[in-house]
Amino acid sequence: MSIRWKPELEIGIEEIDRQHKALINAVNDFLQACVEGKGKDEVNRLMGFLSDYVVTHFNFEQDYQKRYGYPKYEQHLKMHQAFLEEVEDLKRKLNEEGVSLHFTIQVSKKVVDWIITHIGRADADFAGYVKSLKNSDK
């Protein structure tokens, strides 16, 4: 199981696409570790990465959206916040219950689903908006 980068995931804003690829690579490394039976060792690293890198990435997107006056900024911000809360929940669970196979599966499923849906819909919508602004400038 891995997330395959596909053209539909490319939103056309170079820096954001680069960050999305880095995010997907990190998740894929984790999924690969799961396949090799090392998921338990790697889950802490993934959670740390999600807390750090994802926050930086979300901030970048939010700043970008503000700069372009994206009308769905608030809605998008809420999605980012909800994801970060889920990551916090997962971290809490990890601290309380330790790493189990069930936990590892839960993390991969949640993270993979969220990334694919969010990039494919919400980020794509925002990129479409920026593109329409640029086109109307011409």
Q: Which residues bind Fe ion (CB under 5 A)?
A: 61, 123
Give me the least distance between CB of 76 and Fe ion, in Å please.
6
CB of 84 to Fe ion, least distance (A): 11
CB of 138 to Fe ion, least distance (A): 26
Amino acid at 119: I
Smaller CB separation from Fe ion, 33 or 83: 83
CA dist 91 and 138 (Å) reads 47
Structure tokens at 74: 């608030």
From the list 90, 30, 23, the residue with the least C-alpha distance to 60 is 23
Minimal distance, residue 106 CB to Fe ion, in Å:
22
Least distance (Å) from Fe ion to the CB of residue 40?
Answer: 29
Smaller CB separation from Fe ion, 44 or 132: 132
Q: What are φ and ψ of residue 38, in 5° steps?
A: -110, 15
Report the alpha-carbon distance of residue 44 to residue 71 in Å, rounded: 36
Structure token pair of residue 24 = 């997907």
CB-nearer residue toward Fe ion: 32 or 62: 62
Q: Are 68 and 59 in contact (CB under 8 A)?
A: no
Rank residues 42 and 61 by Cβ distance to Fe ion and give the closer one.
61
Based on CB atoms, which residue is closest to Fe ion, 42 or 123? 123
- Percent of the chain as helix, strand, coil, to the nearest 5: 85, 0, 15
